[in-house]
Amino acid sequence: MPLSVAQLWSAPEINPLNGKARSIPILNPINKYGRTFFFSWIGFMVAFLSWYAFPPLLTLTIKKDLKMSQNQVANSNIMSLTGTLVVRLIAGPLCDKFGPRYVFVGCLLAGAIPTALAGTVSTPTGLIVLRFFIGVLGASFVPCQVWLTGFFDKNVVGTANAFGGGWGNAGGGITYFVMPAIFDSLVKTQHMTAHKAWRVAFIVPFIIITAVACGILFTTEDCPSGKWADRHQPLDNIAATSVESTEKEAAGEKSEKDAEAADKGPSAIDRAEGEVIVAPTFQEALGVLFSLQTLALAAPYACSFGSELAINSIIGSYYLKNFPKLGQTGSGRWAAMFGLMNIVFRPLGGIIGDTLYRLTGSVWAKKLNITTVGIIMGCFELAIGLTDPHKEAHMFGLVAGLAIFMDACNGANFSVVPHVHPFANGILSGIVGASGNFGGIIFAIIFRYNGVHYAKTIWIIGTISICVNLAISWIRPIPKKQIGGQ
């Protein structure tokens, strides 16, 4: 299907087999597909306003106010990622059973409550525990991706997932701007003390997250057919209109053309049925969990999104260490750029994946895209870690290069996810999404034990990333006997 600019606002063409859109009406929130796209990325974006609200202020203000050691700051980062890891694993199966929309709303509201309680924290231990529960917000990524996969067809699903994840991830950068700005405003215009201002600042993300959760709950739908229980409806309608042909087959009147098509393998309807999400059995869930194809997606995502999470937690502190004159607000603004690169380059990873798929018809091309950008990402991490730049131009240039390929790798990864085990997309998305947090925890632990020697940890992460991407490059992207997803 040729792409055109008008598709950005026009009602999309719908695949009659599954009810999914074959283009993304990004600028049309009135259309249900455009509305789903809008709330998927904005919901994930606002989650960052609380999930990553602490690092910009932990650099100086909160650390000083609560008298936290460097290890306690690192522990709070680790606990935040751990909370997200646990809930992402749970969110995947919940999406398959109840639908991603309700899981999305649940994650946002469950994370908004501890956000409102941030002002009650008075000890380092209290902050560490609070950040674990706020980590629930990070799990909103899983329903974000499952929801988009349910609304957009294979020719654009990689692009849809990459835009949803990329624009959502940009919230990590926006937070580095927003939270220091709110804090500075409260101190300068409201004449609050630092002790009080950072606590009051957390009321803002609480209000925004709650408002967006209500928007998702009251203005959107579970799937193209409406309710989650009706997700099989497009295929049921097709089955109802093909009664006559079924009767002919039963009477032995099957045409030569039909017989020839049957010999070639699964029909389009069979493939579409294989892509309808079900509530998998425990045995089927284990099959997905221990599949080589799951490993081939989870391992590189642990390196790309994992390193993004870990580096995003310390990037402001790293800048402040190498360039003290920037101060907390200045280092925070430059650190914001690292997350904001997601706006362009995570979508680009998905767009390139979908383009390669349209040109080749092969998921192998999408997988090669993951491996290529993952290795280049590792090379940039090596360059930053081994040179430890003390010139701003060198540092910011290398970090920008890292962000480009890191974000593209994340987008490339979730352009392949919809093709693999499509009947259990929630479980797979949860596992792969959680692997990103698992990588983030491992890398955050390495940061913790290297203290303020940030460069050393970054080149260690780069070495791991290159080795992992090379190690899984041989795994075929789709299981041999899988029906649907090709």
Domain count for the chain, please give it. Answer: 1
How far apart are the C-alpha atoms of 290 and 302, rounded to whole Å? Answer: 16
Which tokens go with 119?
Answer: 């002002």
Cα angle: 151, vertex 346, 285; to 5 degrees:
55
How far apart are the C-alpha atoms of 376 and 371, rounded to whole Å? Answer: 9
If DSSP codes are grouped into helix, strand and coil, which group holds residue 297?
helix
Range of the domain at 322: 18-227+276-471
The stretch 227-251 carries a mean pLDDT of 59
How far apart are the C-alpha atoms of 168 and 177, rounded to whole Å? Answer: 15
**Mean predicted lDDT score pLDDT of the chain:** 86
Which tokens go with 363?
Answer: 């998921």
If DSSP codes are grouped into helix, strand and coil, which group holds residue 14?
strand
330-352 in b/e burial notation, b at 16+ Cβ within 10 A?
A: bbbbbbbbbbbbbbebbbbbbbb
CA 85, 131, 162, 90 dihedral sign is: positive
Task: Assign residue 118 the CATH number of its domain.
Answer: 1.20.1250.20
Residue 239, domain member (yes or no) = no
Going from the C-alpha of 309 to that of each of 44, 143, 206, the distances in angstroms are 15, 19, 22
Residue 478, domain member (yes or no) = no
Q: What is the pLDDT of residue 328?
A: 77
Which tokens go with 288?
Answer: 């997905």
Q: What is the pLDDT of residue 252?
A: 55
Residue 169, domain member (yes or no) = yes
Residue 347, domain member (yes or no) = yes
Residue 256, domain member (yes or no) = no
Reported as a single tens digit per residue, the pLDDT across 322-376 is 999 988 778 888 888 888 888 899 999 999 998 999 899 889 999 999 999 999 9
Residue 33, domain member (yes or no) = yes
- pLDDT over 90 percentage in the chain: 53
- Quickly state the pLDDT bin for 241 (edges 50, 70, 90): low
* 382 close to 202: Cβ distance less than 8 angstroms: no
Reported as a single tens digit per residue, the pLDDT across 130-161 is 999 999 999 999 999 999 999 998 888 888 99
Q: What is the pLDDT of residue 312?
A: 86
How far apart are the C-alpha atoms of 315 and 456, rounded to whole Å? Answer: 14
Reported as a single tens digit per residue, the pLDDT across 27-62 is 888 899 999 999 999 999 999 888 888 888 887 889
The stretch 264-282 carries a mean pLDDT of 56
Residue 5, domain member (yes or no) = no
Which tokens go with 192?
Answer: 């609050």
More confident residue, 172 or 211: 211
How far apart are the C-alpha atoms of 278 and 295, rounded to whole Å? Answer: 22
Residue 238, domain member (yes or no) = no
